[in-house]
């Protein structure tokens, strides 16, 4: 059994890790930390986990985490980078679900996240955890930077075309909508139900911090030198889900693009390419680690529309992290992730 620690167990991503790992047959949750709920039982804070855990939340310390084989960080940005070095020195593997190790350019990271990076030396050793792109690297990694939810949906939607070099990467539009759980478990005016209910809005139109992550990922998929991406995120009044609508210009026939996607993802258990001109729906992936993709060329003209949907808390966070963990330990990739999407 692999001994697991979770730092930041009371946020939405942390509790999603607890939900998924509760039925994982190869792991034992050894320690779960929380600064706000220290001393409380896990099932006291999250009654949906009644009967699954008897642990109490504790403070995060290197001493207590040393008993683990692998530690997940489900913490705000800026926390993992203060502890990862010490854990790695003790031979403990780390999967970080925050943004601390996603960007390879330190100056870009500090610009977008507004703080100095505390662990610059380890950035070059981190592996970006988009499994469908970096599977072999992940298997050998000790430090995984789990992708953001927006970048996951966008990159999976574009991966086959980018790898094949079949699109103009200087003119990509990503119009992406997210449920409010993407903002985290905190009391904040913009995400109150009375503020988001019966409303729909774009935000951070001038620049969202996931923009450089998406551009970095797309650049790694292709030999094309320039990535010009317009990324506009939106907040919609639902709890879970991301819907990415991607626009490209190409004169390649839709049937050829459909075939390319079906071939590229044929052996990917968590990416489903729908029948040509079939639109995916966020409810059809809710609670699962799946990504569904639909392809269109409206009116048969040159605008290609790619629709990519995921559950932001699963494939966009905790599920993807567990998928990476399975690879590291040579488990079946879908172990613990067999959950069928919730419907309705």
Q: Does 344 sit behind a cis peptide bond, omega within 30 degrees of 0 on the bond before it?
A: yes
84 in Cβ contact with 122 (< 8 Å)? yes
Element holding 13 (H helix, E strand)? helix 12-21
Bridge partners of 293?
Answer: 273, 308
d(CA 181, CA 236): 10
110 exposed, middle or buried (CB, 10 Å; 0-12, 13-18, 19+)?
Answer: middle
- Paired tokens of 144: 């995984």
Phi/psi at 234 (5° precision): -135, 150
Backbone φ and ψ of 137, nearest 5°: -65, -40
> Which H or E run includes 271?
strand 271-273
Q: Rounded to 10 degrees, what is the CA torsion of 60, 326, 99, 7?
A: -10
Cβ atoms of 290 and 270 within 8 Å: the answer is yes
* CA gap 74, 6 in Å, rounded: 7
Buried/exposed code over 114-147 (b: 16+ C-beta within 10 A; e: otherwise) = eeebebeebbeebbbbbbbbbeeebeebbbbbbb
Question: 131-139 and 319-328 are packed helices; what angle lies between their axes, rounded to 10 degrees?
Answer: 30
CA distance 189 to 237: 14
Question: Scanning the structure block, which residue is given the tokens 């009116």?
Answer: 299
List the catalytic residues.
149
């Amino acid at each position: 059994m692999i001994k697991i620690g979770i730092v930041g167990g009371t946020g939405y991503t942390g509790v999603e890790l607890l939900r998924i790992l509760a039925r994982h047959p190869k792991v034992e949750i050894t320690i779960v930390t929380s600064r706000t709920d220290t001393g409380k039982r896990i099932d006291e804070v999250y009654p949906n986990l009644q009967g699954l855990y008897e642990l109490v939340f504790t403070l995060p310390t290197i001493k207590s985490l040393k008993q683990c084989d692998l530690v997940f960080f489900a913490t705000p940005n800026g926390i993992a980078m203060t502890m990862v070095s010490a854990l790695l020195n003790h031979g403990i593997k780390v999967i970080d679900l925050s943004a601390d190790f996603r960007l390879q350019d330190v100056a870009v990271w500090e610009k977008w996240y507004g703080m100095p990076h505390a662990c610059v030396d380890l950035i070059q050793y981190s592996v970006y955890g988009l499994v469908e792109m970096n599977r072999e690297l992940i298997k050998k990694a000790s430090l995984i930077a789990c992708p953001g939810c927006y970048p996951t949906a966008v990159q999976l939607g574009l991966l086959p075309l980018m790898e094949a070099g079949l699109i103009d990467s200087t003119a990509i539009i990503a119009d992406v909508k997210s449920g409010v759980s993407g903002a985290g478990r905190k009391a904040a005016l913009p995400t109150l139900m009375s503020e988001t209910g019966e409303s729909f809005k774009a935000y951070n139109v001038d620049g969202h911090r996931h923009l450089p992550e998406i551009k970095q990922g797309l650049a790694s998929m292709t030999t094309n030198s320039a990535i010009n991406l317009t990324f506009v995120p939106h907040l919609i009044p639902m709890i879970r889900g991301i819907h990415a609508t991607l626009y490209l210009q190409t004169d390649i026939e839709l049937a050829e693009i459909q075939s390319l996607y079906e071939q590229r993802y044929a052996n990917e258990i968590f990416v489903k390419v729908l029948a040509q001109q079939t639109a995916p729906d966020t409810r059809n992936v809710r609670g699962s680690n799946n990504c569904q993709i639909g392809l269109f060329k409206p009116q048969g003209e040159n605008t290609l529309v790619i629709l990519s949907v995921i559950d932001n808390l699963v494939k966009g966070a905790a599920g993807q992290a567990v998928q990476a963990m399975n690879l590291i330990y040579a488990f079946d990739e879908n172990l613990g992730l067999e959950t069928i999407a919730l419907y309705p």
